[in-house]
Structure 1
């Protein structure tokens, strides 16, 4: 492919070309062009706060396109193409832009100067781990709660999906400038804990599993650990036995949950105990707050919250007629506690079996006098089905045939598990093929992406063996990167910051995974078409250096993207 016009414009990273190398920077250039035309009196409109700049589907239409002329035509009272021609003339004067074409009803197709596009590689390498990070969500203080599995068994496959997606989302939000606190709500109070304790007690005695109790190897293991720590426990009365099994059993189960999550790469900033709500007076405080707001009433000896005033399908009980507080009352207290800790928004990730929870939670937020649309966000995720040898892997927590986090990691590895679970939209049910995700082949998406990084690492090692390095950024001639495959790769790298921002705003980590797969494919096509290192007695040229920068830039983006997903970027495979 012939090179573009412009010569060695890439020299000097700080030069004028650096102002137009990414979509975000080009948005500012386009907006400045609009402002200049408006200031001259040629366009009677208000300068838009934002403009849209996108990559065209057809690369023959340039590097980027904008519809700003179409948006301004009506308020200006001018034909769109006439507005487009005014803006095109202004944009053509920018040193980083090679060509601007007016297309269709008034689209502007922009082709960057060769050196300007090449500077994407230089910027990615010099920014390193910071490349892709933005301040799009700066100022937002978010509490992100996910997993929150009851301490009555290991983290099952559904909770494992939330561990992978939730941690990736936290990383994404932080990469876009938000302040994020990851929180695990530890349900260590209530009827399920009583059933858990009785199940442990039965296992220790060799008795059948109690009705509605828990079964499985893990129950026997924990019961044995409790007995080992307190050998004479079964000689005490039943009430004392159950108390010890409850206290010690929950502690052991909780340690196992935290340990398995940490080995999966998921560590929370806050582990919040439900029991503390009961012990600290937080429940009474929340009910008093709701009463002050005028939404609490008493009926049939129970205390109710009038959630139907806020769209719920029925009112909810806060305190039962026997004086026992409900789980919903704890939810009210927990939400209030989070808001009083200074969080602007409470984000909660739940499984599909909690869909009915959304309406009542929004109602409790409104009853507190807050705006559910501003201060609350509930994400609902669909189920995960495991498949092996074409057959579904069955699981039942109560029957003791749980497929849990540890099982999945043992089957396919932590990297593959995290990538597979984060790769699909949360509103999509996953059929996770254990055979596919354990393969070391390119049909395994995580292997495909990781292999691209390892391949680049090998190229850079081989270059070092030949005495070749990147050198100084100011010396690389980015204008030499004129091959079609090089341009494709540069544009893909330039999209990374926008991919991260969109994924964060849409709560969609899967967009990062899909982008990385596209980037890996784009790199492989580049590598197959463009020789990077000299062969035999050939001498290295400035093009060699420019292509090494392009390789290093791709590796930077692959590393940064995989890091957002909590997946390693290996240098050898």
Structure 2
């Protein structure tokens, strides 16, 4: 990571803090980082927290803590310390160390990679209309915010679309509702959490119609992939077995990662993360995997499952680009090498992220397509 890269990373953290309402201050045009002076801590230092403290109405130390939280997990950053009145001091990773740390985290955490506790203090109550897209969206939002530690309750204005049969069809889509009708503002136990309405553009079809035509996975993807304020395209293109169909692309990428693992097992070798830098064609995929926890948290905060769908599409495209230029399996009489083992580790990490993301959307990830 160069000083210019570090400057952009810190500026990105400021943008995120402002966007997430953790910091209320104008975003500077640039952030200056300097080599740490003799006797100082870390490789580089930055005074941006002191610069923003006045406009933010917060002590510089508090601004520094807000920014440290958002910089510390970025690729290439080994350690972030707060020194003096609010300086941020950065120790950079050696080349390859941050990549290995990301892959190790994915391997250790599995499908829970990117889950966290940022919303652990929140108790949320979502409320939606008796309509299939609203119900599926509320369910996906529940999965997302729970993955970040929140506690959630969902209520629906009325019982299912067609009584008990309608509820069963919602169940086939993975939808559960905790209560029907508008919950009271207060109860004998005290005031309830305020209702948060979930109001996407309606699907224009019932759960039964969509299930009969598309099945549960394609229905959920079709309802969740567009932003909630956009109409959901629900045509037969969702069933096309080709890379032009984003759902097929994502699931095919996952299935391909599983096939690579089976192939490596047959050849007698296993994945291994390495400290040496990966090939340049692996960089987009590595960056997307490193960014995955931030994407999940942002999707949870903004109640936006479409962000997860777009992240999975980007991971799938980057995986295939990497796979085609740096095959994880040897060809012909070639013997498995350290490069093959490290590539396999990256491919398996991509598959883990794809499966975990699909699970948060309530969509299955088959190992064979």
TM-score range, shorter chain: 0.7 to 0.9
* 1:117 alignment counterpart: 99
Match for residue 466 of structure 1?
267
Partner of 1:424: 226
- Shift of the 451–341 alpha-carbon distance from structure 1 to 2, 3 Å rule, reads farther
**Match of 1:271?**
179
Native 8 Å contact 2:328 2:344 kept in 1: yes
Alignment of 1:506 with 2:305, yes or no, is no
SS of the equivalent of 1:571 reads: coil
Q: Counterparts of 1:131 and 1:565 in 2: how far apart (Å)?
A: 15
Gaps of 5+ in 1: 5-22, 55-61, 69-74, 77-85, 99-112, 150-158, 188-249, 275-330, 350-379, 386-402, 471-475
Q: 3-state DSSP class of the match of 2:268?
A: coil
Aligned partners of 1:182 and 1:498: how far apart in 2? Answer: 25
Please give the secondary structure, in 2, of the residue aligned with 1:478. Answer: coil
Residue by residue, what CA displacement relative to the aligned partner does 1:133-175 show, whole Å, maximum 9, x if unpaired? Answer: 011111111122234x2xxxxxxxxx12112211110000101
Match of 1:367 in 2: none
Corresponding position of 1:126: 108
Query: Which residue matches 1:412?
Result: 214
Specify whether residues 344 and 410 from structure 1 end up closer, same or farther in structure 2 by C-alpha distance, changes over 3 A only: same
Larger Rg: 1
- Cα deviation code 1:385-426 (max 9, x no counterpart): 5xxxxxxxxxxxxxxxxx421111221221111011111111
The total of aligned residue pairs comes to: 314
Runs of 4+ in 1 over 3 A off after TM superposition: 41-45, 62-65, 184-187, 337-345
| Offset, 1:37 | 6.8
Partner of 2:133: 161
**1:170 aligns with one of 129, 142, 154:** 142
* Deviation for aligned residue 1:42: 10
The answer for the alignment partner of 1:289 in structure 2 is: none
- Superposition map of 1:11-410 within 5 A: 45=50, 46-47=60-61, 48=63, 49-51=65-67, 90-91=89-90, 94=91, 96-98=92-94, 113-147=95-129, 149=130, 159-186=131-158, 253-268=162-177, 270-272=178-180, 274=181, 331=182, 334-337=183-186, 340=189, 343-349=192-198, 380-384=199-203, 403-410=205-212
Alpha-carbon distance between aligned partners in 1 of 2:359 and 2:273, rounded to the nearest angstrom:
30
Using structure 1 for the length normalisation, give the TM-score: 0.50
CA distance in 2, matches of 1:558, 1:339: 44
Mapped to 2, the partners of 1:135 and 1:428 lie a distance apart of 30
Could you give the per-residue CA deviations for residues 448-491 of structure 1, whole angstroms, max 9, x where no partner exists?
A: 11111011111111111112223xxxxx3422342112222111
Alpha-carbon separation, structure 2, partners of 1:532 and 1:42: 40
Change (3 A) 1:508 1:338: farther
1:533 matched residue in structure 2: 329
Instruction: Say whether the 8 Å CA contact 1:500–1:512 is kept in structure 2.
Output: yes
